[in-house]
Amino acid sequence: MSTQHALLISLIEKPSSGYDLARRFDRSIGYFWHATHQQIYRELGRMAEHGWIAAEETDQGGDANGNAAPNGEEKKNRKKVYHVLPAGRDELVRWVLEPGAGLDQREEILVKLRADAAIGPLGLADEMRRLIALHQARLETYQAIERRDFSDARQDRGQQLRFALLRRGIRFEQDWVAWGNELMPLLAMPAGDRQD
Amino acid sequence: MSTQHALLISLIEKPSSGYDLARRFDRSIGYFWHATHQQIYRELGRMAEHGWIAAEETDQGGDANGNAAPNGEEKKNRKKVYHVLPAGRDELVRWVLEPGAGLDQREEILVKLRADAAIGPLGLADEMRRLIALHQARLETYQAIERRDFSDARQDRGQQLRFALLRRGIRFEQDWVAWGNELMPLLAMPAGDRQD
DNA sequence: CTTAGCATGTAATGCGTTACATGATTCC
DNA sequence: GGAATCATGTAACGCATTACATGCTAAG
């Protein structure tokens, strides 16, 4: 139920089309709440039904003068720009203050390592290296954002909070990479012990 | 698709009934992969169909002498103890070595804080305190396990790996609690600014 | 005799994922 | 003219969650 709320935040920050949201999601809220474009369109439709958001259908960008297409009514490339209505803002506030679950981690690699502990060594070094590289890359993305958006000493409350969220991500990834590297020596396979 | 694999590991470690698994899950694998009893029964049924596991139906515990119930055939309280077949073990190995997703965190509170940054302050201090307490409690659970199961200096590889998994959890929770406490001052609401 | 715990399921609903489908515009 | 990108959707399937349902055993 909270993909909707993630979308509401994005729309409050900037009214957008579904397509825009799908792209922006990948590099902001999407770092901690992923959603595909089909999900996004479905939830936008539902929220519009609930009266939480509304769309203005505009002709495709660029063409600011009114002449548009000669065939008039049959235009299909309309762009729907959604914005949040008061009811949507209320719903967001309601949800934010509602107690949430917490503690629901689900990391596949931890299950795999547990299997390796039980019936291994199975040769998880490659997979682990791959994941360390992914986390390292994300860490660097976060650090780039830090340099770009949070260099100023003076920040308002919103900016301080956003910075705290970013630091959460940075610490998590740093920790992940450090832990992964510590773990690597345990995953080395004795030569000639492959299972293929 | 990997609740099944988590179950396979549990069954390799110790053959059990669905009911047993549901309980044991809450305090071992379940720390990083949660599953309800309905999921467990469903996946056990499917894995049995695939020939990955098999069950021995036994009469209820305690009654070791064969006389059992007088009505014989109508017994309903049979207990199915599942164990892993070679095909199940093969499938587990296959899955462990298959590349996985990684990087799929989904934490509700981060989305809520982002909302608070955009349209707050909404009064998230209570919720945050609640979550910090949850993470603190889990941290203490982990530390108790550490004292109980990992005090020995000499450990075999499996034990070292399991210890590494536990340390992952401990660090994560420590980090969470520290981050949460740092964040708290930003969440204090100015008096008389409530939204109800 | 009633409550709590052991033990196994069915049904309904909804979210998430993948595949498929369409059409316009812009750039080379 | 063809490829990439913008833009919006439908359909199918499966896992996860919640509610509901059943029956036995052991303990107070």
Considering only CA atoms, which of B178, B91, B196, B92 is closest in space to residue B135?
A: B178
Q: How confident is residue A153, by pLDDT bands cut at 50, 70 and 90?
A: confident
Residue A103 predicted with pLDDT over 60: yes
- Kindly report, residue by residue over B51-78, the tens digit of the pLDDT: 999 998 876 543 333 333 344 344 456 7
- Model pTM score: 0.86
Q: What is the pLDDT of residue A2?
A: 87
Which of A97-111, A117-131, B18-32 is the most confident on average? A117-131
Q: What is the pLDDT at residue A171?
A: 95
In the three-class reduction of DSSP (H, G, I as helix; E, B as strand; rest coil), residue B148 is classed as helix
Number of Cβ atoms within 10 Å of the Cβ of B55: 17
B196 or A149: which leads in pLDDT: A149
According to DSSP, residue B52 is labeled S
**In chain A, which among 36-75 make CB contacts under 8 A with chain B?**
none
Nearest CA in chain B to A111: B6
Phi, then psi, of B41 in degrees rounded to 5: -60, -40
What residue has its CA nearest to the C1' of D19? B38
Q: Are A35 and A56 in contact (CB under 8 A)?
A: no
More reliable by pLDDT, B24 or B62: B24
Nucleotides in chain C near protein beta carbons (<7 Å): 6-11, 14-19, 23-26
Q: What is the pLDDT, as a whole number, of residue A100?
A: 86
Name the band, by pLDDT with cuts 50, 70 and 90, for residue B176: very high
Return d(Cα B111, Cα A129) in angstroms, integer.
30
Query: Is B108 in CB contact (< 8 Å) with chain A?
Result: yes
What does the mean pLDDT of chain B come to? Answer: 85
Query: Given a cut of 90, is residue B81 above it in pLDDT?
Result: yes
- Phi/psi for B2 (5° steps) reads -115, 5
What integer is the mean pLDDT of A6-14?
93
Q: How far apart are CA B153 and CA A81, in angstroms?
A: 62
**pLDDT score of B192 more than 60:** no
More confident residue, B65 or A30: A30
10 Å CB burial of residue B14 (0-12, 13-18, 19+) is: exposed
The model's confidence at residue A74, banded by pLDDT at 50, 70 and 90, is: very low
Look up residue A8 and give its two tokens.
């509401």
Q: Does the structure show a pLDDT above 90 at B112? A: yes
- Please give residues of chain B from 25 to 84 whose alpha-adjacent beta carbon (CB) lies under 7 Å from any atom of strand D: 34-36, 38-39, 43, 60, 62-63, 69, 74-77
Q: Environment class of residue B151 by beta-carbon count within 10 Å: exposed (0-12), middle (13-18) or buried (19+)?
A: exposed
Residues above pLDDT 90, as percent of chain A = 63
| CATH number of A3-97, picked from 2.40.160.10, 3.40.980.10, 1.10.10.10, 1.20.140.10 | 1.10.10.10
A68-72, B35-39, B104-108: segment of lowest average pLDDT:
A68-72
Contact by Cβ (8 Å): B53, B44: yes
Q: Is-contact A18 A40, C-beta < 8 A?
A: yes
Query: Does residue B30 register a pLDDT over 90?
Result: no
Interatomic CA distance for residues A52 and A91, integer angstroms = 8
Mean pLDDT of chain A: 85
More confident residue, A141 or B153: A141
Instruction: Give me the pLDDT at residue A10, please.
Output: 93
Nearest-Å Rg of the Cα atoms of chain A is 23
The per-residue pLDDT for A194 is 54
Kindly list the domain boundaries of chain B, sorted by start residue: 3-97, 108-187
Chain B hits for A105, Cβ within 8 Å: 32, 172
> Within 7 Å: CB of A42 and strand D?
yes
Are the beta carbons of B33 and A101 separated by less than 8 Å?
no
**pLDDT for residue B193:** 56
User: How does residue B175 score in pLDDT terms, banded at 50, 70 and 90?
Assistant: very high
User: Lowest-confidence range among A87-91, A192-196, B20-24?
Assistant: A192-196
What tokens does A141 get?
């993305």
The predicted structure's pLDDT at residue B73: 40
At A22, which amino acid appears? A
Which amino acid appears at position A55 of this protein?
A
